[in-house]
Amino acid sequence: MTFRTIYYAQSSSEHLVDLGVRLDIFLALQVIGLIGSVAVLFTALFSSVSRQATWYNFFISWTVFCISYLLLFFAGQGHSREPPFALCLTQSSMTYAAPPFAASATLGMVIQLYFNIHTALSGTRIKRERVWNAIILVLPYVIFLGVLLESLILGLALQEAHFSTISYCSLETVVPGRLTAALVVFFLVPVLVLNVIIYRKLRKHSSALCTTRAFRSMFVRVTLFSLFGLISVVAGLLFFFIVFIQDSDDGLADLDIVLACIPNAAVFVFGTHKDLLQVWMFWKKKKKVEGFS
């Protein structure tokens, strides 16, 4: 049996102190994102508005995203320099698989939103919409399992699997990181394109549609979602280029904090709808809320 050594990224004592502060910020943001995502999923079950499966997929993906980056923390190894090999390999594989999972789930939700708007405006459904709906529901899980297995096999196949623990465990080889970054960009660029198309459709039909509360709410949601998609793509592009830099530990530590903000942005944008907030306002008389989710 080959002994696998775990190496850790270190530079100077000053860097380590600074990394410690950034690590605490990173973990705090991931914990808040996880609690928020689970709370939104739980709240939606009691909402008066029925939501489509792609919406649930979206928040499930961010829940898995946060859990992936918190495995060391949950195991009590958050600040450890020598986490167990099995734990490190598992977290490494999950953190490579979680971003494409979230990106593809995001694309699926936007495609579903486009289908809904097309049907509302034209009165007809997209050709083979049921097939497309099945694809956008299943694809995120196929992507997640595929990247997860690829990373696990790669980590086990290497004669000496070296890991770095900047904010979490990751293989010290650029192949999984490049694949993850490329997949994130691949899925999120269409998100931006579709958001522009949706924006133009709503703007074109604003006189007929924006007089209703549901479509006004949808218009604001699409606008906020475009900003969210832009932030995600920029983060994905930054990661894509940083993994090509040989000494990129410091840059990745800063980028990790940016990435940890994205689940919180998702909770803020999509988890604060009036019907969801009304679930927690049990002392108030509930009113019927128009929804388009």
**Choice among 29-43, 180-194, 248-262 with the minimum mean pLDDT:** 248-262
As given in the structure block, the two tokens for residue 182 are: 């490329």
Beta carbons of 155 and 89 less than 8 angstroms apart: yes
* Average pLDDT score over the chain: 78
Q: What tens digit of pLDDT does each residue of 121-146 get? A: 777 888 888 899 999 999 999 999 99
Could you tell me the domains of the chain? 1-268 (1.20.1070.10)
Q: What tens digit of pLDDT does each residue of 251-278 get? A: 566 677 878 888 998 898 888 888 888 8
**Choice among 105-109, 170-174, 181-185, 194-198 with the minimum mean pLDDT:** 170-174
**Choice among 25-34, 72-81, 233-242 with the minimum mean pLDDT:** 233-242
* Residue 36, pLDDT above cutoff 90: yes
Please give the Cα distance from 242 to 232 (Å, whole number).
15
Please give the Cα distance from 262 to 269 (Å, whole number).
10
Beta carbons of 170 and 92 less than 8 angstroms apart: yes
> 3-state class of 170 per DSSP?
strand
> 3-state class of 45 per DSSP?
coil
Q: Of 8, 27, 2, which is closest to residue 256 (Cα–Cα)?
A: 27
List alpha helices for 45-128, DSSP H.
53-69, 71-74, 85-122
What's the whole-number mean pLDDT along residues 236-248?
57
Q: What tens digit of pLDDT does each residue of 200-241 get? A: 887 777 665 554 556 566 667 666 766 766 776 676 566 656
Partners of 163 in the beta sheet? 171
pLDDT of residue 5: 42
* Residue 6, pLDDT above cutoff 80: no
**Choice among 28-32, 33-37, 107-111, 252-256 with the minimum mean pLDDT:** 252-256
Dihedral angle sign, alpha carbons of residues 55, 57, 60, 65: negative
**Choice among 13-22, 69-78, 196-205, 271-280 with the minimum mean pLDDT:** 13-22
* Residues in Cβ contact with 208 at an 8 Å cutoff, skipping those fewer than 6 apart: none
Beta carbons of 267 and 33 less than 8 angstroms apart: yes
Beta carbons of 103 and 183 less than 8 angstroms apart: yes
Partners of 164 in the beta sheet? 170
Q: Are strands 163-165 and 169-171 parallel, antiparallel or unpaired?
A: antiparallel
* Residue 61, pLDDT above cutoff 70: yes
Identity of residue 278: Q
